[in-house]
Amino acid sequence: MHKDFDRWNKVKKEIEVSSENKSVLVGEFYWCKIGLNIGSEENGKYPIFNRPVFIFKKIDYYKCAICPLTTSGRKYINKIRLGYINRKKNYLILDQLKIIDTKRIEDRIEIINNNISIKATKAVLGFLDSFRNTQ
């Protein structure tokens, strides 16, 4: 698959110059310009390279920890089904958890079922806790 890194670099430069940091709410879902990444790292969707994400932790006004979502139902050990968001089945990709600048954050996604946020939080905590028990 061809990846248009030149297009992503243009979008990334626009984010740096014209986007402002945003205040985010922990436990909420947002659209995020996650970018075009390397290998098996999750990519945003062309042409603006965004995808929905779950805000797991607010580090400060400039940074937060996110976990990307996908609508792909393909079985994968580190992916859990959350439920329906915007009338589509969504899954949390636990092993793609990362820190981002809040300039990448776009619009908040309205979630009607609060249990989805609770399920996402428990899943991320469980995933992180699994590292504590490995040697």
Q: What is the pLDDT of residues 15-31, one digit of tens each?
A: 999 999 999 999 999 99
Q: What is the pLDDT of residues 40-90, one digit of tens each?
A: 888 898 889 999 999 999 999 999 999 999 999 898 899 999 999 888 999
Torsion of CA 56, 18, 85, 7, to 10 degrees: -110
Residue 19: domain span:
5-132
Q: What is the reported pTM?
A: 0.91
- CATH number for 85: 2.30.30.110
Helix (H) or strand (E) holding 85: strand 79-85
CA 89 to chain centre: 15
Q: How many domains, the chain?
A: 1
